[in-house]
Amino acid sequence: MKLRDIGNSFRWLAGNPVVIVLAVVASTLSYFTGLRAFMQGVCNSIGIYPNWAIELLTFCILLLLIVVAASISGYLIDKHYRRGLRIYGRSVESVLWGDATGERIGEFQRLRSDAKNSMLIMGIGMTFLSKDLRYMKSLLDEDLTIRLLMIDPGIIVSTPSFNPNNNPSVMIESSLFDSYFDRRGYSQDIRTSFKRLVDFILDRKRIENKKGRISLRMYPYFVPINVTMVDESIKNKRGCMLIEWCLPFSDWRMSTRLSRSQDKSFFEVISGNIEELWVKSKTVIDDSYEQQPRD
């Protein structure tokens, strides 16, 4: 081990509040328990007489016992809550960023570029994705299966009207929709994005020997989250996702990255719900080859 590593380890120990608390507790208890007298007898029997050595040994053993007891208690509490919540995972980190920041968009692109087999992209409107169709083509050229899932633009209307013969799950007034996401004209941007994606897939339908496959579905619900999952197959342990929650009435997004290998329970709960939404959504178009009529 290098001296730098040893120094970093000591700095971590000195700056870790849990270690400091446990050390204080162990140091205090070592003077008020029978352990010190017991250790003094043991040390004297093997020829150790200095008080500082006996006190150090007593402190180390007591600290070890406290750590073991705390670990066992934490495991039992964890196990109890795991049964109650049916979900458990390590602490995950989230970041907060603006809607159009380059860092946010770049993070999604980096994750998508890591895909080896498949990808599911769920976006409110796919507005940034649909503006870079060359990037989409480059992903498909890697022979990926790409599934796009977005809100049905038809449920965002200028003036909601309630027709008993045509009652969708939800109807949203466009001005309120724009206000919720703090983006003027966002509802119109979504319609434009939808058309771009449909036209892109329609053009691919005419290509006979193309690489990859892409399909588009839409859902008639209001779900203010964006998700990208790559290699999301249940049998594939490489799966990763980037999920972000849209904070209401602002352009701020709170984003969390999860992987199947490190956050299995969280990953499977979220991916399972997204898959259920995919199944319930309406197919718009896919790029299966469309045989052209002959003259």
Question: What is the tens place of the pLDDT at every residue in 175-214?
Answer: 999 999 999 999 999 999 999 999 999 999 988 888 999 9
Alpha-carbon separation of residue 84 from 78, 87, 264, 269 (angstroms):
10, 8, 17, 15
> 14 with 132, same domain?
no
Same domain, 282 and 148: yes
User: Cβ distance 126 to 285 under 8 Å?
Assistant: no
Q: Same structural domain for residues 115 and 173? A: yes
**Secondary structure (3-state) at 289:** coil
Phi, psi of 219 (to 5 degrees): -120, 145
Tokens of residue 122, six digits: 């769920």
pLDDT exceeds cutoff 70 at 255? yes
Query: Is residue 294 included in any domain, yes or no?
Result: no
What angle separates helix 133-140 from helix 186-204, to the nearest 10 degrees? 40
For residue 37, the enclosing domain spans 3-85
End-to-end CA distance of the chain: 77
Residue 247 and residue 204 share a domain: yes
Q: What is the pLDDT of residues 122-161, one digit of tens each?
A: 998 898 899 989 999 999 999 999 999 999 999 998 876 6
State pTM to two decimals.
0.67
Q: Are residues 63 and 102 in the same domain?
A: no
Q: Output helix, strand, coil percentages for the chain, rounded to the nearest 5.
A: 50, 20, 30
- Look at residue 169 in the predicted model and tell me its pLDDT: 60
Instruction: Assess if residue 293 is contained within a domain.
Output: no
Count CA atoms within 13 Å of residue 284 on its CB side: 25
207-233 tens-digit pLDDT? 888 899 999 999 999 999 999 999 987
* ∠ Cα 14 16 21 (to 5°): 95
Among candidate residues 36, 56, 85, the one where a domain is terminated: 85
- Considering only CA atoms, which of 123, 130, 150 is closest in space to residue 217? 150
The separation between CA 207 and the C-alpha centre of its own chain, rounded to angstroms, equals 35
165 and 22 in a common domain: no
Same domain? For 118 and 263 the reply is yes
Judgement on whether residues 114 and 240 belong to the same structural domain of the protein: yes
The mean pLDDT value for 106-122 works out to 92
End residue of a domain, out of 85, 110, 131: 85
54 and 103 assigned to the same domain: no
The answer to whether residue 247 is domain-embedded is yes
Residue from 143, 151, 148, 139 nearest 109 by CA:
139
Residue of 209 and 64 predicted with greater confidence: 209
Residue 295 lies in a domain: no
As for how many domains the chain has, the answer is: 2
> How crowded is residue 55: how many other Cβ atoms within 10 Å of its Cβ?
16
